[in-house]
Amino acid sequence: MINSQIFDFQELTSLKYRNEIQINELDSKYKTLTEEHQQSKEETAKLKQTITTLENELHQSAKTAGHLRTKIALVEQEMKSKQEVIQQTNDRIAIEQESKVRKEDFFYFISNYL
């Protein structure tokens, strides 16, 4: 009986130490997981901030691109208008040149035959 009690005591003591070791291991794992969880939360917060910043930059870039497209369209229209004026001016110059040549020919004809 005493041997049985000693055996039971040794068994319980052994179980106690195994349980304490397991508790310590689980406690260590819990602390590690808690730290990782906190790091993940912090990283998530940083990533959300980065996303917000990037979305703002994207919005600003899109807005700037829209303004630039409008400006390009205006410049292209101005350029087209100026090209039309240049073409009209060149046409007038050509007509004036032809008129000048005809007048010179007429004066040459009159001066030579009169």
In the chain, domain spans: 1-81
The CA-CA-CA angle for residues 93, 99, 101, to 5°, reads 100
Side chain identity at 91, as an amino acid letter? D
Token pair, residue 75, equals 């410049």
Pick the range with the lowest mean pLDDT from 3-7, 9-13, 79-83.
3-7
| Alpha-carbon span 113 to 107, nearest angstrom | 10
State pLDDT tens for residues 35-75: 999 999 999 999 999 999 999 999 999 999 999 999 999 99
- The pair of structure tokens assigned to 47 is 């990533």
pTM: 0.57
